């Protein structure tokens, strides 16, 4: 897989795969991501998150919904004819750290760590360019991804067309999605999400965005009885990209409810959570930018969507 092949690839039934990355899969995902119809972590695989993003894009363009890339959908996406592959020279700040030796698997093991940083320069660079670590490595065979001065191949995420500020955010528990709409009810953004779990149902209805907190601290409330957490005393987890709520917390009018990032972008929309609306860090940051106007953006929860931990007794919470 190389830059010319990716930049010139066109998606079809024969050039896309739901099992392995392909040049066409990479280009399709990048163009969707630029258009703010996110496939989540870009891995080159035409999996369920990429298909959900494609269907949402087709909906926004008033095209028939399909799991196959239609000629018309591709024509519209490909109007962004900038190369999707770029070069990046690794800088000192990319490898400065400090990095965690290992990300603890349990919440209790995270308390006391000064900062929930990345575990490697590779993880940080992958997140910076919205890609999986596996794809980053595949794009750079034989290159050292942890050395300053080395030029590596990355995704050019670009900015695409900046959407209008969102007036409504729709969270769908059944489909595991977040959609952004403008004042005219036009669909302007889409993001795959992990929306709680069956054992941790939450409010449905309409809430308001109240605050946006960058680099939040996570506060655990022992009354919530999270599975696998044995502490009966409250504790906090320091900020950082591998904090349980990632790099941003979008607080909602239901006490303690919100939308946030994650330490595991590859698991978004594929695994359950402790009652939250979880996006990749970069998608959560885009939602915060597009829907973070305080008191003006409503959030509708469909299909018994679950929420972030509440700060009332029996829940945990995040705060700055």
Catalytic positions are: 260, 276
First to last CA, the chain: 42
Query: Is the CA virtual torsion 303, 309, 311, 312 positive or negative?
Result: positive
Q: 248 near 288, Cβ under 8 Å?
A: yes
As a whole number of angstroms, the distance between CA 53 and CA 192 comes to: 8
- Distance of alpha carbon 84 from alpha carbon 221, whole angstroms: 44
Residue 128 in contact with residue 156, Cβ under 8 Å? no
The arrangement of strands across the sheet holding 317-319 comes to: 235-237, 217-220, 317-319
CB 148 within 8 A of CB 121: no
Comparing CA positions, the residue from 245, 30, 265 lying closest to residue 133 is 265
Whole-angstrom distance, CA of residue 130 vs CA of residue 171: 22
């Amino acid at each position: 897989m190389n830059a010319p092949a990716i930049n010139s690839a066109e998606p079809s039934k024969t050039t896309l795969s739901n099992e392995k990355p392909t040049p066409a899969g990479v280009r399709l995902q990048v163009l969707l991501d630029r258009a703010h119809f996110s496939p989540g972590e870009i891995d080159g695989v035409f999996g369920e998150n990429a298909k959900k993003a494609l269907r949402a894009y087709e909906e926004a363009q008033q095209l028939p919904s399909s799991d196959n890339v239609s000629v018309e959908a591709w024509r519209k996406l490909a109007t962004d004819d900038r190369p999707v592959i770029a070069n990046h020279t690794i800088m000192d700040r990319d490898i400065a750290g400090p990095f965690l030796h290992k990300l603890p698997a349990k919440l209790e093991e995270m308390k006391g760590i000064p900062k929930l940083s990345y575990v490697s320069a590779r993880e940080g660079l992958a997140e910076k360019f919205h890609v999986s670590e596996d794809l980053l490595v595949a794009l750079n065979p034989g290159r050292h991804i942890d050395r300053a001065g080395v030029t590596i191949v990355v995704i050019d995420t670009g900015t695409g067309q900046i959407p209008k500020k969102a007036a409504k955010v729709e969270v769908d528990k059944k489909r595991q999605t977040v959609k952004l709409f403008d004042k005219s009810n036009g669909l302007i953004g889409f993001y795959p999400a992990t929306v709680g779990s069956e054992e941790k149902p939450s409010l449905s209805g309409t809430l308001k965005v109240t605050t946006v907190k960058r680099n939040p601290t996570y506060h655990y409330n022992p009354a919530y009885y999270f599975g696998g957490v044995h502490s009966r005393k409250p504790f906090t987890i320091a900020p950082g990209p591998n904090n349980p709520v990632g790099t941003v917390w979008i607080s909602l009018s239901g006490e303690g409810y919100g939308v946030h990032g994650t330490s595991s972008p590859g698991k978004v929309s594929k695994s359950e959570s402790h009652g939250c609306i979880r996006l990749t860090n970069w998608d959560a940051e885009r939602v915060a930018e597009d829907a973070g106007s305080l008191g003006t953006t409503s959030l509708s929860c469909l299909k018994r969507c679950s929420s972030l931990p509440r700060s009332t007794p029996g829940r945990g919470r995040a705060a700055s």
